Amino acid sequence: MLLVLCCMLPVGCCAAQPPWPFLPTTYNNCTLKTLLTAEELSAGVDRLAAEIAAHYRHEPLTIVGILTGSIVLLADVIRRIDLPIKVGLIQASSYRGTATEPGELLLNLEKLPDVTDRHVLLLDDIFDTGRTLAEVVDRIRDRGARSVRSAVLLRKQGRQQVALEPEHVVFCIPDAFVVGYGLDYADAYRNLPFVAALEEGDL
């Protein structure tokens, strides 16, 4: 079952959410509209970790974080899961520099451990077009994983270009360029403890 953990509804129900309550703030002279507070993110990660633990039920698991946006989420999730786990990393990039639209997807799997006959959970910061996650799922399956599932912190509405759906979605968000909690713009903002939308004039 596909879950939107923030509201416990199927992913398709995201579009039915009421208008998002933007909370304006400033950072480095840029205007940010806060979508998710640190407290909301923490509660969402708690729910995600519980879902992961319930699904695998103490089965050995390899959690693979898709760099660089997932680093904060990965660190928070693995500290909440009481499972026998291994951790791997994949470098994936389709946004470079100040680009706000995805370009050519570049993948580096050098830091990926052996996943042969392992249950693998891919962890990513955001499901935008879905091209990155779909490609990584295929690559992991080609390496002999027993199963491959995916979990994303954010699912952006109205952007999907692939048939793949993540098994776990923590929050659905509007179609906006977001930063914070590991997500960046030109390698800035990753350290923010909340998720916010950048004003178009600051992009």
- Quote the Cα angle for 151-113-150, to 5°: 10
Query: Could you tell me the sign of the dihedral formed by the alpha carbons of 125, 128, 131, 133, in that order?
Result: positive
Summarised one tens digit per residue, pLDDT across range 191-201 is: 999 999 987 66
Please tell me the predicted confidence (pLDDT) of residue 101. 59
* Distance, CA of 153 to CA of 123 (rounded, Å): 8
pLDDT tens digits for the chain (203 residues)?
333 444 333 333 343 333 444 555 666 667 789 999 999 999 999 999 999 999 999 899 999 999 999 999 999 999 999 999 999 999 887 655 555 555 577 788 888 899 999 999 999 999 999 998 999 999 999 999 999 999 999 999 888 999 999 999 999 999 999 999 999 988 889 999 999 998 766 55
- Quote the Cα angle for 183-20-68, to 5°: 10
Coil, strand or helix: which one is 54? helix
On the 0-12 / 13-18 / 19+ scale of CB atoms within 10 A, 176 is: middle
Please tell me the predicted confidence (pLDDT) of residue 198. 87
Catalytic residue among 76, 124, 125, 128: 128
pTM for the complete prediction? 0.81
Does residue 128 have an active-site annotation? yes
